[in-house]
Structure 1
Amino acid sequence: MGLNSYRIGLIIRIVGLLLVMLTFSFLATQSNWFFSSIIIGLTLIILVIEFFRYSFRYKNDIENLIQSFEENNYQSKIRITKHRSKYKEVEKAFERIQNVVQKVRLEREVQFNFLKILIENVPSGIITLNSENKILNVNQSAKTILSISGSFQWSTLENRYPLFANQVKSNNPVNNELINLTESKDTIQLSYSISTIKLQNDLIKIISFQNIKTVLDQNEMQAWNNLIRTMTHEIMNSVTPIISLAESGLQILSNDRNTENPLKFTEKNLDHLNKSFSSIYNKSLWLKEFVENYRKLIRIPQPTLKDINLADIINSCAHNFLEIFKKENIEVKINPINVIANIDPNLIEQVINNILKNSIDALKKRSNKRIEIIIEENNNRPLIKFIDNGEGIKPENCSKIFIPFFTTKETGSGIGLSLSRQIMRLHAGSLTFESKPSVKTVFTLQFA
């Protein structure tokens, strides 16, 4: 409404100005109308002044608004003077513009602060540089990983780690490259990536990196802790009853010495001693087998690689289980695709046999038992998938199944999957799984 009134007022003033100019031009040519010409001329001057005053009515207000945007000052309000009361809608429009811009600015500040906090708390080091290699931002993790305290300047990085600085200087993008940095006697192994983005006509470089040596050391320590915990549990399960049985046998012998006729055991005592020594013997055999399994785990021979058709080795292993499949009423489906892989057939047979045994055990309590074996290639890498509809792996056990000696079976050594994964790693491959309990479990062998 205010802008429409302003537009109408502007048109009226232009029309009035044109009429007065025409009248003044006419009277100026008439000698008898001299004083009238002067009056009309003064009127024309007044109308011109009024026209410009009216035209620039909002000039100062708009300039103040723009200045507040430039200075990031959103507190000052645009005020229309009293004689412009009918243009209050324009004032409200100006204030709405201010509010919208202020809201956008606050949202950007919130996002910026969130990203800043996020970057400061990520475990990876992050450094941002402009096109002149001036450091714009560096998080605390970067300082910790590179052992730099206080002010972090580009010159500091160049002096302490020149090799890394030279890599960063190159404008080529890098994705998960490895580099060894040495300072004094300490060596840092970094995995780093470099990417670039263009912001406000400047090329910004983002360097992210992580000390993988520390991560690997932590993972190795965790693996050893899990292994020692499992071994301790298994050994104590056998040693405790051995001690108890031996103590019981010694007690019987001690009581016998105190009798008038030593070494003349009652039938009950003889039976107890027989059971005790039998248990000690069996537990000792189990401990021996446990140690033998441990030796197998740490003494895997290096693979003797050959080009082998995976379909042949799968058919051979499946044939070995043919009677068990029939006895357990398991439906087995194998896709007959010929895929060549460079493997040690003897070691890979161990892996396949172990996975098939696990599938058979998982199907014990199931109906409509099925095992499907799929051979295929993924990005020119051969792989084998073993799919069964057995009981599956419980979520709480998913992180433990590759730990040596961990087992959920009543009988079993608990080294099968751990041994299988090590064999696959010796082939520069991998052994992975996914499981939905009581629905489907998939073990995948992927070769180099």
Structure 2
Amino acid sequence: MKLRTKYILFVVIVHLTALVLTYFIFNNNKVYFMLSEVVVIVSIVFAWRLYIQLIQPLKTLMQGVDAIKDRDFNVKFLTTGKHEMDQLIDVYNQMMDELRIERTRQEQQHFFLEKLIFTSPTGIVVLDFDDNVQQINPKAAQILGVEESQLLKQPVDNLQHPLLTFIKQLRSGENIVVKPDGINTYKLQKSHFIDRGFSRNFIMIEDLTAEIVAAEKNVYGKVIRMMAHEVNNTVGPVNSIMQSALKTDQLWEGHKFNTLKDALQVAMDRNQNLNFFMRNFAELVKLPPANKKQVDVNQLTNSVTKLMGLKAQEKAIVFEFDLAPGPFYILADEQQMEQAIINIVKNAIEAINDDNGVITFTTVSNRLTISDTGSGISAEQSSNLFSPFFSTKKDGQGIGLTLVREILVNHGFEFSLKTITPKKTSFTIMFG
């Protein structure tokens, strides 16, 4: 029962009782009976006016409560001139002002946070209370290579993307650096925040590829320059001494030193090979900026296959072509791109161990794909393929794919190298 109902019921009972009592008490005295009736009527009027004054603040308070329920913080009340009522109105109006200011501040903070997440260079995936994907920013969608709609409301544990499989191994507050495709490096971090008293997780994906590549290049650049300096300082004088000895006929007159002369010549040749070896390394450091011009990828591919044809014939390897009709133009440095494709084809030839292998060249949808039927790439090898000095070959220098990476990165081309099936490994270059 409401308070006002109780009050009205109480007033009615009291005055009915008073009327009944006055009737029995002053029934024989008309004057006193009439006076008592007047008193009861005045009491009723006074009780009604008192009811209005007591109930009005409650009505006002209920209107304010309804406004708060509707989250309408613009509703305010005017003062009435009554002290108690005005105190309540002042407190209510002050509370509404504070709520309106706080709501405005929260909306601004929320808008700023949404803008920050949307424009962040770090990929962010926000999960709901059940670890379903609730929000994903454009950078995360770009890194994962999917549309936002494909991930929303999906359980994160059910997603099969290589990066997200690493996230499943992390607890909140942990992070890990991974290199899933051997090319790009990412830092994954899982953390949480409190929403309405409950914990929710979010995932941050930071692309460290550019920083890692720059750091690697800086390190191996210093190593190569130091090695080249020491080798040149040693090989030059030694070769000069041996060449002078070979040209001094007086040293060999009357002696049968042909074996020694041959050994000196072999040593000189070995020194020259060492110089060539160091020049290959120096190419990584001295790679000039790309001089971009219009280049026909189809024509460039045909030129490289003619150059590498004899090497392929030695292992009975066949070149197959599925090239786009007509010219396929891109903006690139022709010499650098030719060197990159030569290295890719050379690796493909060396990866084919049996005879009658096939290397296929495909140009379609603004990309070039070079596939081979070689032995493929293991999971252990894939994470280190483009690392400097790493090679799967016994006598490899580990600079072929590193040079390819440097050339393609300088051009701004995306690329991938992976084994699709046991007898199909593809190197794909995306030109834009």
* Bigger RCO (CA 8 Å, 6+ sep): 2
Q: Please report the TM-score for the alignment, with normalisation by the length of structure 1.
A: 0.43
